[in-house]
């Protein structure tokens, strides 16, 4: 089964070259010259991965990423940029990007990332949080969470539950591990 990729970039030459390089690697590639054009494609057919340029006219990659995730939170989006900043990379990851890569992109690295997103999509990774379970693909994490779960105060006033997002996520994982051990 070939990987189905949507490639979005306003630079037509870059779009054509990258599309050809991905097709040589047995990927089914659809291209779009704008995010607006891509939204219609995403709403009409499924993709294993979306490769999205960060800097585009009309709508930048971060705005497009937000809209793609609103359409389908399970979409695997990899951002490409020639203007990388740590702040934009962190922001993209918080918005749900699978990865952020710098242009010119190493085709082997991009291919590996695309295949990884396909595996995540097929295996359903990323849906655990919606199901309130610990990822089965992370046995090491599960073990750590179980060890610490016995030390977490589950009351609503607990300092960890009032901490930042990362701490709340970790605490929720610990509590879930503790609950699953009791059942």
**Given the DSSP bridges, would you call strands 27-32 and 3-8 parallel, antiparallel or unpaired?**
parallel
Q: What's the rounded Cα separation, in Å, for the pair 22 and 161?
A: 45
Q: What local confidence, expressed as pLDDT, does residue 95 receive?
A: 93
Q: What local confidence, expressed as pLDDT, does residue 14 receive?
A: 95
Q: What is the DSSP letter of 2?
A: P
Secondary structure of residue 138 in the 3-state scheme: coil
Q: What local confidence, expressed as pLDDT, does residue 141 receive?
A: 44
Per-residue pLDDT tens for 53-99? 999 988 999 999 999 999 999 999 999 998 878 888 889 999 999 99
Q: Go through the chain and tell me how many residues it has.
A: 183
Buried b (16+ CB within 10 A) or exposed e, 142-177: beebbeebeebeeeeeeebbeeeeeeeebbbbbbbb
Average pLDDT over residues 166-179: 52
Q: pLDDT at residue 128 above 60? A: no
Walk me through the domains of the chain, giving residue ranges and CATH numbers: 3-123 (3.40.50.2300), 131-182 (no CATH)
Average pLDDT over residues 27-49: 95
Q: pLDDT at residue 177 above 90? A: no
Greater model confidence, 130 or 23: 23
Q: What's the rounded Cα separation, in Å, for the pair 63 and 54?
A: 9
Per-residue pLDDT tens for 89-109? 889 999 999 999 999 999 999
**pLDDT band at residue 158 using 50, 70 and 90 as cut-offs:** low
> Mean pLDDT across the chain, nearest whole number?
77
């Amino acid at each position: 089964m070939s990987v189905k990729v949507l490639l979005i970039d306003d630079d037509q030459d870059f779009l054509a070259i990258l599309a050809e390089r991905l097709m040589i690697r047995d990927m089914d590639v659809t291209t779009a010259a704008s995010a607006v054009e891509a939204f219609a494609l995403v709403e009409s057919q499924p993709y294993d991965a979306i490769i999205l340029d960060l800097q585009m006219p009309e709508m930048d990659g971060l705005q497009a990423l937000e809209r793609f995730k609103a359409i389908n939170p399970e979409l695997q989006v990899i951002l490409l940029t020639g203007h990388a900043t740590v702040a934009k990379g962190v922001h993209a990851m918080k918005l749900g990007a699978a990865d952020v890569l710098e242009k010119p992109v190493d085709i082997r690295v991009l291919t590996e990332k695309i295949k990884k997103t396909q595996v995540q999509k097929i295996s359903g990774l990323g849906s655990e949080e919606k199901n309130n379970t610990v990822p089965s693909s992370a046995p090491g994490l599960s073990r750590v969470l179980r060890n610490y779960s016995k030390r977490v105060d589950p009351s609503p006033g607990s300092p960890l539950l009032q901490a930042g997002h990362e701490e709340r996520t970790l605490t929720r994982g610990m509590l879930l591990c503790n609950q699953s051990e009791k059942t």
